[in-house]
Amino acid sequence: MESVMSKYENQIIIFTEYLEEFPDTDELVWILGKPHLLKTEKSKLLSDISARLWFTYRRKFSPIGGTGPSSDAGWGCMLRCGQMMLAQALICRHLGRDWNWERQKEQPKEYQRILQCFLDRKDCCYSIHQMAQMGVGEGKSIGEWFGPNTVAQVIKKLALFDEWNSLAVYVSMDNTVVIEDIKKMCCVLPVGAADTAGESPPDSLIASSQSKGTSAPCLAWKPLLLIVPLRLGINQINPVYIEAFKECFKMPQSLGALGGKPNNAYYFIGSLGDELIFLDPHTTQTFVDTEESGLVDDHTFHCLQSPQRMSILNLDPSVALEILKENLRMFELVQKHPSHWPPFVPPAKPEVTTTGAEFIDSTEQLEDFDLEEDFEILSV
């Protein structure tokens, strides 16, 4: 393990101005649902890209589990991509998609709180410590590379302990998204909901009663993070899916895609023609903690390098998306839970004596979670 980490320790990239030029084209660049015209909006495009939270390998944090690794260089790239995707979801939830980051400018308190969710400490709910230790329940040893589906399952379970963001995380199976199951996850029913089933709440706040098949009003509606693991080919992406995949980055609800192979994972955030734009976690930086002021120095959490691109044909065919659109045909959208599937039970936080991220101090406390099937390579 030490030899693997030392290989990556010196891969520190010096931040410079954007060096790589985009091609001279009239095509729109799409970044997470927002279009940019290169010829007239290049600075706005680059600002939009640099505003995304960028999580990379880190070193010199406290050992995971007390005796584990103090750097995730060489094995944590997919975990970092999962953090970036989740951070974008939280930014959309609290600040909106149009929020933008400017260096040296005071940011909203919600921004700092989101950033602190991902610091490399065991008491931060989505830290590398929490994700790596929760991965043990998915059959992954600490220090072992995760596939994107494993990361999706870990996020789904850690979100149960995150009361501030209160996300409902749905990971589809068998290329099928079930609307009925999503409603059960997102709708928070009030106490005694069965007694008020005869009332007429708004259509957006209706959920099917699990016991009697009747409708009951929701007390609240949780924001949904939808992750769809897909395989769009065998050894490489099937060209018939290319246009549909590119459409994903045009949806205003899009959070992008995760993809990659061991030691080579990326967070895809946009497209230009037949190229994908991505954030690369393969840079090792020193651990950053909260300062005495209670704030986090965030300049290393935003990528000020040239945006990186790759041909969509080089994308691994296993991907997982956070989008929902009926005409894509990359996955199936159904209203009712398939009768041949096991009954759907919304995930619930296990009974523990502490709450939040603190509950995962050792792998012994992971026994309340069931192991789930893992895909080796996917995208979110």
Cβ atoms of 152 and 257 closer than 8 Å: no
Query: Choosing from 77, 81, 117, 186, which is the catalytic residue?
Result: 77
Cα-based distances in Å from 70 to 6, 129, 138, 218, 373: 12, 10, 21, 44, 28
Active site residue 302: no
Active site residue 77: yes
Query: Choosing from 94, 282, 302, 337, which is the catalytic residue?
Result: 282
Helical H runs in the chain?
2-9, 38-50, 77-94, 109-116, 128-136, 148-158, 179-186, 242-248
Burial class (CB in 10 A: 0-12, 13-18, 19+), 329: exposed
Cβ atoms of 115 and 296 closer than 8 Å: yes
CA-based torsion, 290, 159, 355, 221: positive or negative: positive
Active site residue 186: no
CA–CA gap between residue 250 and residue 281 (Å, rounded): 23
Query: Choosing from 72, 162, 280, 316, which is the catalytic residue?
Result: 280
Half-sphere CA count of 254, side-chain side, radius 13 A? 26
List active site positions: 77, 280, 282
